A and B are shown apart, each in its own frame.
Chain A
Amino acid sequence: MEYEAIIGLETHVQLKTKSKIWCGCANEFGAPPNTNVCPVCLGMPGVLPVANEEALRLTILTGLLLNSTIPRYAKFDRKNYFYPDMPKNYQVTQFDKPSTVGGFVEFEFNGGTSRINLTRAHLEEDVGKNFHFDRNSGVDFNRAGVPLLEIISEPEITSSDMAYEYLNALKDILIYGGVSDCDMEKGMVRCDVNVSIRPKGQKELGKKIEIKNMNSFSGVRNALNYEIPRQIEVLTKGGQHHQETRRWDDVGGITETMRSKEMAHDYRYFPEPDLMPFEPTDAWLAEIKTRVVELPLAKKQRFIKDYQLPPADAQAFVWDVPLGSYFESVAKKSKNPKAVANWVINNLRAKLAENGGSLADLKFKPEHLVELIELVDGKKISSAAAQQVFAEMFTSGEAPALIVEKKGLAQVSDTGAIEKFCDEVIAANPKPSADFKAGNAGALNFLKGQVMKLSKGKANPGVVGEILEKKLKS
Chain B
Amino acid sequence: MLNQLTISELTKKLAQREVSARETMQSCLDQIAKVDGKIHAFISHDAADALQQADAADKELTAGVKKPLLGVPIAIKDVIAVKDQPLNCGSKILGKFISPYNATVIEKLKDAGAIIFGRLNMDEFAMGSSTENSAFGVTRNPWDTTRIPGGSSGGSAAAVSADECIASLGTDTGGSIRQPAALCGCVGMKPTYGRVSRYGLVAFASSLDQVGPFTKDVRDSALMLSAISGHDVKDSTSIPHPVPNYAAALNGNVKGLKLGLAKEYMVGGLDPQVSAALQAAVKQYEKLGAEIVEISLPHTEYAVATYYIVATAEASANLARFDGIRYCDRVPGNDPIELYSKTRGHGFGPEVKRRIILGTYVLSSGYYDAYYLRAQKVRTLIRRDFLNAFEKVDAILTPTSPTAAFKIGEKTGDPLQMYLSDIFTISCNLAGICGISFQGGFTENPKLPIGLQLLGKPFGEETMLKLAHAYEQSTAWHKEKPTI
Residues of A within 8 A of B (CB): 39, 42-51, 78, 80, 82-84, 87-90, 139, 266, 268-270, 273-276
Contacts and interface: CB of A to CB of B under 8 A. Distances in A.
B317 A80 contact: yes
Interface of B: 79-81, 87, 89, 94, 97, 99-101, 103, 198-203, 205-207, 233-237, 313-314, 316-317, 320-323, 325-327, 336-337, 340, 360, 363-365, 368, 372
Contacts of B235: 48, 50
Given A42-B326, A48-B234, A273-B207, A83 B320 contact: no
A80 B323 contact: no
Contacts of A266: 364-365
B326 A276 contact: no
B320 A82 contact: yes
Q: Which 9 A-B residue pairs are closest in the complex by CB-CB distance?
A: A89-B320, A268-B363, A273-B206, A273-B207, A45-B202, A46-B202, A46-B200, A46-B81, A266-B365
B320 A46 contact: no
B385 to A, nearest CB: 21
Given A45-B81, A48-B199, A80-B316, A276 B237 contact: yes
A89 B343 CA distance: 14
A82 B100 CA distance: 24
A83 B335 CA distance: 11
Most buried by B among A47, A50, A84, A87: A47
A268 B316 CA distance: 10
A270 B317 contact: yes
B100 A45 contact: no
A50 B320 CA distance: 20
A270 B369 CA distance: 11
Contact of B198 (A39, A48, A51, A276): A48
B326 A43 contact: yes
A446 to B, nearest CB: 81
A23 to B, nearest CB: 9
A78 B237 CA distance: 16
B364 A268 contact: yes
B363 A80 contact: yes
Given A44-B327, A46-B202, 5 more contacts: A46-B201, A50-B233, A51-B236, A268-B364, A270-B368
B317 A90 contact: yes
Contacts of A51: 236
A270 B363 contact: yes
Nearest to B337: A82
Given A42-B326, A268-B363, A84 B199 contact: no
Contacts of A47: 101, 199-200
Contacts of B368: 268, 270
Contact of A50 (B236, B321, B327, B364): B236
Given A83-B336, A89-B321, A48 B236 contact: yes
B320 A88 contact: yes
A265 to B, nearest CB: 10
A49 B199 CA distance: 9
Contacts of B101: 39, 44, 47
A88 B199 contact: no
Contacts of A82: 320, 323, 336-337, 340
B320 A45 contact: no
Contact of A45 (B94, B236, B325): B94
Contact of B236 (A83, A88, A139, A276): A276
Nearest to A80: B317
B57 to A, nearest CB: 26
Nearest to B340: A82
B76 to A, nearest CB: 12
B123 to A, nearest CB: 16
B93 to A, nearest CB: 10
Nearest to B339: A84
Contact of A87 (B234, B313, B321, B364): B321
A50 B363 CA distance: 24
Contacts of B314: 270, 273
Contact of A268 (B79, B94, B365): B365
Nearest to A275: B236
A47 B198 CA distance: 8
Given A268-B360, A273-B314, A45 B97 contact: yes
Nearest to A51: B236
A139 B233 contact: no
7 contacts: A44-B99, A46-B81, A48-B199, A50-B236, A88-B317, A274-B236, A275-B236
Given A82-B340, A87-B321, A89-B320, A46 B94 contact: no
A46 B323 contact: no
A275 B314 CA distance: 13
Nearest to B205: A273
A89 B316 CA distance: 10
A43 B321 contact: yes
B452 to A, nearest CB: 30
Contacts of B89: 45
Contacts of A39: 100-101
A50 B199 CA distance: 11
A237 to B, nearest CB: 33
Contacts of B320: 80, 82, 88-90
A87 B326 CA distance: 8
Contacts of A268: 316-317, 360, 363-365, 368
A88 B321 contact: yes
A42 B327 CA distance: 10
Contacts of A88: 317, 320-321
B375 to A, nearest CB: 11
Contacts of B198: 48
Given A82-B323, A89-B323, A273-B206, A45 B87 contact: yes
